[in-house]
Amino acid sequence: MSIAALAQNEKSRPNFVFLVGEDTGPDLECYGDKLARTPNLDRMAGEGCRFTRAFTHAPVCAPSRCGLITGQYPTTLGAHHMRSKLIRPPAMFTDYLRKAGYWVDWPGKTDFNFDVPAGAFDSTAQWIKNPPKEKQPFFAYFNMFQTHESQIRIDSDKTAKTTHAKLTAALRPEERQDPEKMVLPPFYPDDPVIRRQIANYYELVTATDYVAGNVLRTLEENGLAENTVVFYFGDHGRGIPRYKRWVYDTGIHVALLVGWPGRIAAGSVREDPVSFVDFGPTVLSLAGVEVPGQMQGQTFLMGDGQRPEIGRKYIFAARDRMDETIDRIRCVRDGRWKYIRNYHAELPYAQQINYNELNPTMQAWRAAEKEGRLNEVQKLFFAKSKPREELYDCESDPYEVRNLTESTVAEHREKLRELRIELDEWMVETKDLAEVEERELIKRGIVKDVLKDYEKRLEQHKEE
């Protein structure tokens, strides 16, 4: 359909709202989490669709958001390091929406691993204070920072303690979390500091639910809900060690709820894989805009609210430099199995990252390791090197602690071969730039040189 035809048919096109929770996985009651207190998002799931296998392509904010806004893998663009800065970024999916007559509001955080061009959005004001009733069709973004890792560190950061208190001030007594009731992943020692951090996180998840509920009510009260497709999702996993920054499911698996009254069946559940690079193509398709050929995602929702006949079989994710720490990891996952390839097997998992070391959970975990209080599973993170490959059955081993690459079981051997091939083909097909040294990317004019401070930190680690 031409741009002119779309402009004449504005009222029939849906509006779009993205609700994005920072550093939060599928930790909602509607996903079966018994600790979560999330009535507003649970109601959204009950009135719309809950996706059980939604994944980001990068377990940290900037590369994750880069792929979200461009519909392309950061490893293709050269934006795979945290943080780097593309010099000539591709068009954003919101650019195509604007050309098709959509009004786009993106307030607050962008963090795309590139500078957003001036005038890229129609507005950067908080649209919820002035709902865009007269600007239909529209795309409106809402970033919810409450669950960011900096907000759960109240045991070691006075500012965070004050902020946490403010963010959770509205919580009722029954919505407070008892650290003793927290469920610990098997790779963590049972430590009161870690329990407190997880409790802090769940309280902030509830605070986020309050904010999401306010946005959803605003849409309803202004008569916008009926023709608006609302997406709720997290940008990656929890902001604690071996969640955020890692390609295990704890780092890349997120909640995805989609509401669209009259189109999406209430209480429906989708188990097909969805990747963040699919969001841009999906929104454009629903808006009646042709999906650009350079976008690498797939449409996962049709105009009638149903799934496409041909869906995604695999999702892929990558982890490269995290601030000052060099590493290169790739993974592929189908509905059940995860294959991880460590290109720097000689490096330990537990390399130091200054920002991550501020996390009380990381401090408690390191202290327990030094004191010899870890069991065999908990020690794995502190091994001097990593296995070259990892294979996990994510159904029976959701925390991915039993590596099956040495298994002699025929099913495991066959799955290992299959996923190796899929990962190799994806890296070739998407022109993965990770083999190119970052200094060479800078020399080629692909990214700016932002390494000075990171290299200084790395030298300090070596001295320590």
Question: Which pLDDT tens digit goes with each residue over 20-70?
Answer: 999 999 999 999 999 999 999 999 999 999 999 999 999 999 999 999 999
User: Has residue 36 been placed in a domain?
Assistant: yes
In a domain, 447, yes or no: no
Tell whether 418 is covered by a domain.
yes
Distance separating alpha carbons of residues 57 and 240, to the nearest angstrom: 18
pLDDT on residue 310? 80
Which residue did the predictor score with more confidence, 162 or 101?
101
**Partner residues linked to 390 by β-bridges:** 340
| Token digits of residue 277 | 């690079």
Mean predicted confidence (pLDDT) in 425-434: 96
Question: What is the share, in percent, of the chain residues with pLDDT greater than 90?
Answer: 86
| pLDDT tens column, 343-395 | 999 999 999 999 999 999 999 999 999 999 999 999 999 999 999 999 999 99
Average pLDDT over residues 412-440: 97
What are the C-alpha distances in Å from 418 to residues 32, 314, 334, 413? 31, 11, 11, 9
Which of 10-14, 64-68, 105-109, 183-187 is least confident?
Answer: 10-14
Q: What is the pLDDT of residue 357?
A: 92
Of 5-19, 122-136, 355-369, 427-441, the one with minimum mean pLDDT is 5-19
- Mean predicted lDDT score pLDDT of the chain: 94
* pLDDT tens per residue, range 291-334: 999 999 999 999 888 888 788 999 999 999 999 999 999 999 99
Count of all residues that appear for the chain in the document:
464
Please give the Cα distance from 82 to 158 (Å, whole number). Answer: 27
Angle at 51 between CA 46 and CA 54, to 5 degrees: 150
Do 98 and 308 meet the contact criterion of CB atoms below 8 Å apart? no
| Claim to verify: residue 232 and residue 300 sit in the same structural domain | yes
Beta-bridge partners for 298: none
Q: Are residues 112 and 209 in the same domain?
A: yes
Are residues 355 and 269 part of one domain? no
Tally of domains within the chain: 2
What confidence tens digit (pLDDT) does each residue in 218-266 have? Answer: 999 999 999 999 999 999 999 999 999 999 999 999 999 999 999 999 9
Alpha-carbon distance 1 to 417, whole Å?
A: 43
d(CA 375, CA 368): 10
Active site residue 49: no
Select which of 30, 61, 66, 394 is catalytic.
61
With a cut of 70, say whether residue 7 has pLDDT above it: no
Cα separation, 411 vs 401, whole angstroms? 18
pLDDT for the residue 157: 61
Is the pLDDT reported for residue 444 higher than 60?
A: yes
**Amino acid at site 249:** D
pLDDT, position 161: 65
DSSP 3-state helix, strand, coil percentages of the chain (rounded to 5)? 35, 15, 50
Residues 114 and 155 in one domain: yes
Is residue 64 within 8 A of residue 57, CB to CB? The reply is yes
Cα–Cα nearest to 403, from 412, 392, 415: 392
- Does a structural domain hold residue 131? yes
Residues 383 and 307 in one domain: no
Q: What is the C-alpha to C-alpha distance for residues 184 and 202, in angstroms, rounded to an integer?
A: 13
Q: Clarify whether residues 275 and 396 are in a common domain.
A: no
Residues whose CB falls within 8 Å of the CB of residue 280, separated by 6 or more in sequence, listed in order = 68, 69, 70, 71, 92, 93, 291, 295, 297
* Contact between 393 and 407 (Cβ < 8 Å): no
Residue 400 φ/ψ region, left for φ over 0, alpha for ψ in the -120 to 50 degree band, beta for the rest: left
| Helix H or strand E segment including 460 | helix 452-463
Indicate whether 280 and 423 sit together in one domain. Answer: no
- Residue 441 forms part of a structural domain: no
Task: Indicate whether 460 belongs to any domain.
Answer: no
CA–CA separation, 161 and 179 (whole Å): 16
**137, 101 Cβ separation under 8 angstroms:** yes
Is residue 89 domain-shared with residue 238, that is, in the same domain? yes
Class of residue 272 by CB neighbours under 10 A (exposed 0-12, middle 13-18, buried 19+): middle
Backbone angles phi, psi at 282, to 5 degrees: -65, -45
Are 71 and 155 members of one domain?
Answer: yes
The distance from CA 369 to its chain's CA centroid, rounded to whole angstroms, is 29
Check whether residue 357 and residue 324 sit in a common domain. Answer: yes
Contact 340/247 with Cβ under 8 angstroms? yes
pLDDT of residue 458: 79
313, 336, 370 - which closes a domain: 313
Could you tell me if residue 328 is inside a domain? yes
Same domain assignment for residues 321 and 200? no
For residue 454, is it within any domain?
no
> Are 26 and 255 within 8 A, CB to CB?
yes
Residue range of the domain that includes 212: 3-313
Looking at the fold, whether 347 and 239 belong to one and the same domain comes out as: no
Which DSSP string corresponds to 273-312? -EEGGGHHHHHHHHTTPPPPTT--------TTSPPPSS--
Give the start-end residues of each E strand in 113-158: 138-144
The string of DSSP letters for 342-354 reads: ETTTTS-TT---H
Q: Could you tell me the CATH number of the domain that includes residue 125?
A: 3.40.720.10
| Residue 125 CB contacts under 8 Å (≥ 6 apart), including other chains | 105, 107
DSSP-based three-state secondary structure for 365: helix
Residue 464 has pLDDT above 90, yes or no: no
Q: pLDDT category, 457, cuts 50, 70, 90?
A: confident
Element (H, E) at 92: none
Could you say which of 281, 313, 345 is where a domain stops?
Answer: 313
